[in-house]
Structure formats: C-alpha cells, structure tokens
C-alpha cells in the first residue's frame, strides 16, 4: 500500500505543473503560418524549375517490439509542423498543374486508422493536415506510388542523400517504401552504377539530382531565429537554467549521478518540457573529464569533488544547452576554484566578442589564449604554446531545433543563438601535479546576438564561483522528499 501511494505522489508531482494553469494540451506551439512562411522562404531560394523533397524521420527500434519515442526530423518539422512518421513533402519552385489542380507543394501523410490510433494515438490524416497545418494539397502516403509526377521535367531535384538507417517495417507505404518508390521515380539508383547502360540517361539523371544544395539552403534559413522561435528557445533555456539552480540547492555528496540527472529532468517535466534535447551528461570527479559522458551511474558522487552537469530541456522542439560545474560539498577547493575561475574568465572574454559582423571563430581563439596562459601560470603546461589536450573542443555552436543546429559559422548575425562553452579537463594520470587530477570544468551558456551586443539567456543559473557557493547554501524542497526504504 505504501508503494502504491508513492507512485501516486510521483505522478502528481510530475504532472501537476503542466495542468496547474490549464487542464488542456499546451497552446503555445508554432502556428501553421510560421511553417508556411518557412516554406515560402525556402521556395524563394530554390533554383528555377526545381523541386525540394523532404522525408519524415524513421521510427527507431529500441528493442524487440518497443520503439523509441518518435522524434520528427527538424527540417521536416520546421517546414510543416507535422510530428508523425511515414510522410514526405514536395516543395516546387513554380506552380504545378496535375489534373485539374494547380499547386506549389504537396504532402503525403499517414492515413487515419482507427485500430492503429487505439494503440499509438490520434493521427492527423489528410483532413487534419489541411485544416490544422494549412496544406491545400495533401494525400495519404499509400497514394504516392500511383501519383503521376514527371520528375524528368525538372532541372533540379533537391534532397538530402539517403543513409542506411531506415528499416522495412513490412507496413504498406512506410518510410522505407516511400523512399524506394521515390528512388524509382527519379532513377536514383542509376547514378550509382559504375558502368551505366544508357550514358545519355545516366548523364541527364546525374545532372538533375542534387543531394548537396538543400542542406545549405536550410542552414541559411535555420541559423537565424525568428521571434516565434525565440519565445520557445528562451523558455527551453530558462527551464534548463532553473534545473541547474535547483540542483545546486539539492546537491549533497551522498547523491548518485543518476539522482542528480533526475533532478534536472524532473524540473524539465515540471515546467512542461517534453524531452531532453540530448543525452544528459552528469559526471562527478574524473567522470567530468569525459566530454560526452552519459553513463551517469556513479553511485556516490563523493565529497570534495566537482560535478559537471551538461543538460538541456527540449520545449516544443527547441533545445537549450546549459552546463554548470559545481563542488559536491558546496565549497570549491583552492585548486578547483583556480581552474573554475580561469574557465569563467575565458568565457567572459569570449562572450564579449559575440557581436554582429564579428568572425564566429574569434571567441574560441580568445578563450584558448586565456586558458593556455592560465595553465602555464599554474604550471600545468610548460608554456602558453605547449600542445595539450586539456581544452580539446571548440566553444561555439548554434542551438535551435537541434542542440547542434545547422550554421555556416562565418559571421555573427542578429538573432542567432549560439553557445559559449570553454572548458578544462585534467584526467587522472595527466602529466602535471597530482593535485590537479580529476578536475573537469565546463561552463556553457546560450547567447543571443543583438544589435546592442550579446545577451546571455541562461542567467537564471549562477555562473561565478562565489554565486554558486551562495546558491548551494539555499534550502531545497527536494531535501524533504523522503523515500521509503527498499529491500
């Protein structure tokens, strides 16, 4: 009976916030007009007499008959708002006329299926896509095979090259089938032949098919965020920063890495974020020196350690990326503080360079110079010019629908949102004094580029070492969360 009550309590805690103000589904998703405008912007960039083709993400199998939670391809969602699998869309440069219909885009989607929807939830179907997403021309996916479209008349057919990660589910007109039919219609396999039997057809097909340009066009659209995107992205960032702050308040050396991860992800759910934007990284002690450590299974994070927490909430598709490194007992040691403050100095100097028109590589160069100089002064490396692996990664990447959103990485432009994340990692066994061993520090914030200079969006999570120590003195409601003893 006690176990049953505990389950009810967990259920209530996780879901009460989502329904506190509104007992309906969230209403702050992107509107259909947003997606329509993105298609128009892409259409304007397409070459004459061309068609752009996009496919939904495949369903991923977790094990046996269990699938991973479905996540739509970011480009497909950006252009359509459609969140279901087994779909494709054609965006034409010019109007097309087939039969008695004139249009410049057509989407193929999953059909309504009462039995399937009983198991996996309601599908939009053709009517729903037309009504809720604003498509005038939509068909059931099974109709694509007989759909009369002459691809040979286009000068360019743009799509991203296929990867071998789509399995045949044996379901009629699944993504595997859609791709195979598309390949047949555009003679895709012909261009992969070493000795084409028809040189003229081979040359014409190879000239027509373009698997490189579309990615560049989508990058040019997605690296600049719209006002609608910024609303969702800021919310994801704030939720992630609150997770960091709550973990500072709740931290104690007897926690496990898994428990620390759970605190963050509890906060995400509490504030209505659907997912984590990427696998959570929570590494205590030497584990913090593993850049993409995701096991998070250290049972006791221990006293006198640092714990590096790199996590991001995904809110309505948009993903934050915030990292904080804090002392497990609430106080930095002398060595930990020296390394932490050096990373903070490098981050501050790098952020100052996030200005419109500046080279996007400059913050990394600035941070690297400061860290190299500091490491030399601490005796960890011989000179500023010594080669080392204590800072092995870059500092800046776009965020948005992907945690590593596409970008050209040339000049900073207004309304880009880019991370700044210098770090120092000194694993056990490094060629320096042992007092530095096991110290891994990364500080990562999400920066909005504006006409008035860079704006740090993740300020709800303390950054300075002194501010972190003060935050860790604050009480946490989670400390009163008593678990029943398990055998």
Q: What are the boundaries of each domain within the chain? A: 16-220, 224-480
Helix 362-377 / helix 334-351 crossing angle, nearest 10 deg = 150
**Per-residue pLDDT tens over the stretch 378-399:** 999 999 999 999 999 999 999 9
CATH topology of domain 224-480: Creatine Amidinohydrolase (3.90.230)
- Give the mean pLDDT of 175-194: 87
Task: Return d(Cα 182, Cα 160) in angstroms, integer.
Answer: 13
| Closest among 426, 444, 379, 422 to 285, alpha carbons compared | 426
- The reply to whether domains 16-220 and 224-480 share a CATH topology is no
**Per-residue pLDDT tens over the stretch 39-75:** 999 999 999 999 999 999 999 999 998 999 999 999 9
Residue 467: how many other CB atoms lie within 10 Å? 12
pLDDT at 336 over 90: yes
For residue 193, the model assigns a pLDDT of: 62
- Three-state DSSP class for 310? strand
| H helix intervals, 388-478 | 465-471
For residue 477, the model assigns a pLDDT of: 86
Element (H, E) at 88: strand 88-98
| Closest among 436, 29, 467 to 248, alpha carbons compared | 467
Higher-pLDDT residue of 199, 261: 261
Answer for the pair 187, 201: CB distance below 8 angstroms, yes or no: yes
**Per-residue pLDDT tens over the stretch 134-174:** 999 999 999 999 998 999 999 999 999 998 889 998 889 99
For strand 156-158 and strand 209-210, is the pairing parallel, antiparallel, or unpaired?
A: parallel
Residue 78's alpha-carbon distances to 53, 72, 109, 137, 341, in angstroms, are 14, 10, 16, 18, 39
Torsion angle, alpha carbons of 123, 127, 132, 135, to 10: 120
pTM: 0.92
Superfamily of domain 16-220: Creatinase/prolidase N-terminal domain (3.40.350.10)
């Amino acid at each position: 009976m006690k176990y049953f009550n505990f389950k009810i309590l967990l259920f209530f805690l996780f879901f009460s916030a989502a329904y506190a103000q509104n007992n309906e589904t969230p209403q702050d998703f992107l509107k259909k007009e947003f997606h329509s405008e993105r298609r128009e912007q892409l259409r304007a960039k397409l070459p004459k007499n061309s068609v752009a083709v996009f496919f939904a993400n495949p369903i991923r199998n977790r094990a046996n008959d269990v699938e991973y939670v479905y996540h739509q391809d970011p480009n497909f969602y950006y252009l359509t708002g459609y969140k279901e699998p087994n779909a494709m869309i054609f965006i034409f440069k010019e109007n097309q006329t087939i039969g008695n219909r004139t249009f410049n885009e057509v989407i193929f989607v999953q059909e309504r299926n009462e039995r399937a929807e009983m198991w996996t939830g309601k599908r939009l179907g053709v009517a729903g896509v037309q009504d809720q997403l604003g498509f005038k021309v939509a068909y059931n996916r099974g109709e694509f095979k007989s759909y009369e479209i002459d691809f040979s008349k286009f000068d360019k057919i743009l799509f991203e090259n296929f990867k071998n990660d789509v399995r045949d589910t044996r379901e009629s007109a699944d993504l595997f089938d859609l791709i195979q039919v598309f390949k047949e219609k555009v003679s895709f396999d012909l261009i992969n032949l070493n000795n084409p039997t028809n040189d003229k057809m081979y040359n014409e097909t190879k000239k027509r098919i373009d698997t490189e340009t579309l990615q560049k066009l989508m990058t040019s659209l997605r690296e600049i965020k719209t006002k609608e995107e910024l609303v969702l992205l800021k919310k994801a960032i704030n939720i992630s920063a609150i997770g960091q702050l709550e973990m500072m308040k709740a931290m104690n050396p007897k926690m496990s890495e898994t428990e620390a991860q759970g605190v963050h992800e509890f906060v995400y759910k509490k504030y209505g974020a659907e997912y984590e934007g990427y696998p959570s990284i929570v590494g205590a002690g030497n584990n913090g020196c593993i850049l993409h450590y995701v096991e998070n299974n250290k049972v006791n994070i221990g006293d006198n350690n640092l714990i590096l927490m790199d996590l991001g909430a995904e809110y309505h598709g948009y993903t934050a990326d915030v990292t904080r490194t804090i002392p497990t007992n609430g106080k930095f040691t002398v060595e930990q503080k020296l390394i932490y403050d050096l990373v903070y100095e490098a981050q501050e100097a790098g952020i100052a360079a996030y200005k419109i028109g500046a080279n996007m590589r400059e913050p990394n160069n600035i941070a690297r110079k400061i860290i190299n100089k500091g490491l030399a002064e601490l005796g960890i490396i011989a000179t500023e010019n010594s080669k080392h692996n204590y800072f092995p990664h870059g500092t800046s990447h776009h965020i948005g629908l992907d945690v590593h959103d596409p970008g050209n990485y040339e000049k900073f432009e207004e309304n880009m949102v880019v991370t700044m994340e210098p770090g120092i990692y000194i694993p056990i066994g490094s060629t320096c004094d042992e007092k530095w061993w096991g110290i891994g520090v990364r500080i990562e914030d999400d920066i909005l580029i504006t006409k008035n200079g860079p704006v740090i969006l993740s300020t709800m999570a303390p950054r300075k070492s002194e501010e972190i120590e003060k935050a860790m003195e604050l009480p946490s409601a989670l400390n009163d969360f008593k678990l029943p003893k398990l055998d």
